[in-house]
Amino acid sequence: MHKPSLIPDFAYDPPDEPLRILHEDAAIIVVDKPAGLLTVPGKLENRQDCLITRLQAARWDALTVHRLDCDTSGVIIFARTKQAQGFLGQEFEQRRAQKTYVARLKGRLERGSGTVDLPLGSDWEYRPRQKVDHVHGRPAVTDWQVIDQTDTETRVRLKPHTGRSHQLRVHMLALGHPILGDQIYAPETRDQHARLMLHAETLALHHPQTGEWMSFSAPVPF
């Protein structure tokens, strides 16, 4: 079976732009993350600049709850207390948190909506690449719906029911329509798209102090 070529180490050049805080109170901070910025520090020395360190410089008590891929933009939530961090962690772990994404895909989807239900696991030989793995993979489910399309690309709204690494990227690839600008799964599209065309549009969950159901959104930048 043909294996993909080794994934080249990407040049990390994070954007120099101010924080975009969507909401903050005594328990949480919600931010619109720009594409190209790591959520947490990378392992290599030149990858310490990231969203959490920038946020902590302005809000010292910010604590990580979940992550977005470096090249993905959009809504991400941070806690301000250990109690809130634990509560929000359970919102994600128990799948109470609801997320939607918008993506631009290569090619034209024939159907208007559908569900991808394919287990995913690490492609250890080509990390950080993930793959469909029916033997050792963990369950992963994504709903998709077409928003708009042309002859050459399709804009979709994606709703993941699980939170596997690279889930949306691998599931769209499995449909035969990878996300444009994906340097791992569709490197041939990178010349025309300087970033991954994937944006976390909305996040809804219960507030850790009040229990109120809250929804946050960030405008799609592409």
* Angle of CA points 66, 171, 90, to nearest 5°: 25
- Catalytic residue from among 69, 71, 123, 182: 69
Is there a catalytic annotation at residue 69?
A: yes
| Spatial contact of 39 and 73, defined as CB atoms under 8 Å apart | no
pLDDT surpassing 80 at residue 187: yes
Q: Are 147 and 102 in contact (CB under 8 A)?
A: yes
pLDDT at 1: 43
Question: What is the per-residue pLDDT for 2?
Answer: 45
pLDDT digits (tens, 9 = 90+) for 3-59: 454 455 568 999 999 999 999 999 999 999 999 999 999 887 788 899 999 999 999
pLDDT at position 44 is 76
Percent of the chain with pLDDT over 90: 90
Domains by residue range for the chain, with CATH:
21-217 (3.30.2350.10)
